[in-house]
């Protein structure tokens, strides 16, 4: 009987904490630009390493949708009908949640996705999106870079260098266990909001850190956003651990990034989609 009572108390406390966290998330976004929007969450991984956090990341966004008031469709795999003009026109933004390697089935799908962005659509990228479609230069520019290496998972010393929807709840100095992703290079158009202090990376990794440093030096991009080729993107390279998707601070960070994209997109206008081939050069004078 005593064991039953203790278990019941634990369940009640857990439920109370969960409900309070949900209410806090909604309270932080009483008039969220995501309200009424439709979001496609995509978690497909191509051949290679697959994270074990796919379900957790997708479930977290579904839960956000219920709390904040936006509709979410989750696709764990690709299909012929998924990336077409007709299907994508139903959505305001696409979340690539821990996708990795090649995730489009054909160049026709790549073209459809690029036209969605040019029509004014938005993209949110989480963690290993940086390793997604590494052979497609346009996609690398859209998301800001292309993964090349990371040191072992460890406590990162993160610094907020810009006020942004995705950083409003983040302390100026944020210590967070994760992987620090490096790109071969970073696209010139990104607007960096959070950096990692590379001097604080474990000494055992410092030789490789020096090898992979970019023009950003020791203040290394971790979170950024940009307007690109008609659309809006926001990327966080954080989010390796499954536990991140139940962490209130990380969830506010993720929600803020999605709200930034939602705020900066309008109704899709496919008359602005100028490409006929998926890999055409960007026309910077078009928009």
Q: What is the pLDDT of residues 242-284, one digit of tens each?
A: 999 999 999 999 999 999 999 999 899 999 999 999 999 999 9
Mean pLDDT of the chain: 92
Distance (Å, rounded) from C-alpha 278 to C-alpha 281? 9
> How many Cβ atoms sit within 10 Å of the Cβ of residue 157?
17
Could you give the C-alpha distances from 48 to 23, 44, 209, 284, in angstroms and in order? 38, 11, 23, 34
The length of the chain is 287
- Could you tell me the two tokens for 142? 């859209």
Per residue in 39-98, pLDDT (tens digit) is 999 999 999 999 999 999 999 999 999 999 999 999 999 998 999 999 999 999 999 999
pLDDT band at 287 (very low <50, low <70, confident <90, very high): confident
| pLDDT surpassing 60 at residue 10 | no
- Could you tell me the two tokens for 205? 């990794």
Q: Against a cut of 0.75, is the pTM above it? A: yes
pLDDT band at 29 (very low <50, low <70, confident <90, very high): low
Determine the pLDDT at residue 28: 56
The fold of the 2-29+38-269 domain, in CATH, is: Rossmann fold (3.40.50)
CB 61 within 8 A of CB 25: no
């Amino acid at each position: 009987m005593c064991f039953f009572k203790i278990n019941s108390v634990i369940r009640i406390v857990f439920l109370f904490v969960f409900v309070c966290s949900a209410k806090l998330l909604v309270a932080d976004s009483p008039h969220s630009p995501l309200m009424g929007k439709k979001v496609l969450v995509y978690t497909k991984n191509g051949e290679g390493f697959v994270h074990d956090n796919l379900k957790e990341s997708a479930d977290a966004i579904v839960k956000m949708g219920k709390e904040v008031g936006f509709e979410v469709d989750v696709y764990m795999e690709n299909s012929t009908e998924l990336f077409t003009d007709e299907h994508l026109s139903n959505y305001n933004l696409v979340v690539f949640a821990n996708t990795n390697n090649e995730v489009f089935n054909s160049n026709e799908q790549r073209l459809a996705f690029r036209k969605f962005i040019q029509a004014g659509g938005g993209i949110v990228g989480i963690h290993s999106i940086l390793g997604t479609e590494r052979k497609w230069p346009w996609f690398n520019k859209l998301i800001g870079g292309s993964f090349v290496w990371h040191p072992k998972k460890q406590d990162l010393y993160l610094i907020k260098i810009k006020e942004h929807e995705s950083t409003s709840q983040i302390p100026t100095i944020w210590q967070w266990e994760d992987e620090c992703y490096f790109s071969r290079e970073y696209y010139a158009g990104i607007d960096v909001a959070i950096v990692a202090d590379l001097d604080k990376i474990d000494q055992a990794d410092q030789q490789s850190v020096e090898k992979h440093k970019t023009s950003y030096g020791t203040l290394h991009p971790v979170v950024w956003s940009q307007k690109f080729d008609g659309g809006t993107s926001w990327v966080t390279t954080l989010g390796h651990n499954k536990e991140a998707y139940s962490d209130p601070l990380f969830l506010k960070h993720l929600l803020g990034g999605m709200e930034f994209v939602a705020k900066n997109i309008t109704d899709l206008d496919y008359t602005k989609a100028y490409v006929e081939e998926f890999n055409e050069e960007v026309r910077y004078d078009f928009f």
